[in-house]
Copies of this chain bind each other. A is one copy, B any other.
Amino acid sequence: LVAPAESDRLRVVLVRTRNPLNIGAAARAMSNFGFRRLRVVNPFEVAFREARSAVGASDVLLAAEQYKSVAEAVSDCALVVGTTALWHRELRHPLLQVEEAADLIREKVRSGNAALLFGSEKVGLSNADLSHCHRVLRIPTHEAHASMNLGQAVAVCLYEIARSQPPESLEPEAQLATAEQVERFTETLFLALRLSGYVKPGSEKSTETKVRRLVHRVDTSSADMDVWLGMLRQIVWKLKAEE
């Protein structure tokens, strides 16, 4: 995750947003991923008022700053990145993948401010808006359904920026079952199979080999193997008791 001082150097800028739910959704995604500086440019006035007065409006939304132009909204930013999900736009800008743009932004906010611009629900960012951008990122949507919901687009971009880099596994390597545990399990299983009549007379050797191979193909943690063995022992006990 991006350090707090750095994440406060990213401004999320919503340009001419119409729907109050989308402004709220953008603010929520910002809170989720640790960003706080929301700026709105010429929002549909009613939408912005509604979003701010909604029950549970977030701190991010309440602290949002309103601007009359993109130029003003990005004036303190050394890097301005526009967003698009469209395919057919004539863009003078080289299109970046989201992760490339995220790298640029993370680097920039170490020393200065950056802005990430999202256009209106209907038409996205205009050419005039884009003229304020140093770079444009494209979210890789399918051509037939290219246009994303605004709140979802914000979430995807901020997820990518906040995502720790490089990804490290959260999964602690579970200690695998030892060969000794596996062998004990195999023997107990074979005993259960004999007691239950699974093993046909004369096929003891081949069945045992088959069972051993089967058990060895299973990857299990040492802790889980103890549980399996405990279960099997109880079953064997019962099968013996009733013999």
Contacts and interface: CB of A to CB of B under 8 A. Distances in A.
A56 B237 CA distance: 58
Nearest to A26: B152
Contacts of A238: 195-197, 239
Contact of A142 (B33, B217, B228): B33
B228 A197 contact: no
Contact of A151 (B146, B152, B192): B152
Interface stretch (A64-72, A95-103, A107-115, A179-187): A95-103
Interface of A: 1, 21, 25, 28-29, 31-34, 58, 85, 94-100, 138-142, 144-149, 151-156, 159, 162-164, 167-172, 174, 189, 192-193, 195-198, 214, 217-221, 224, 227-228, 230-231, 234-235, 237-239, 242-243
Contacts of A85: 32
A240 to B, nearest CB: 10
A217 B228 contact: no
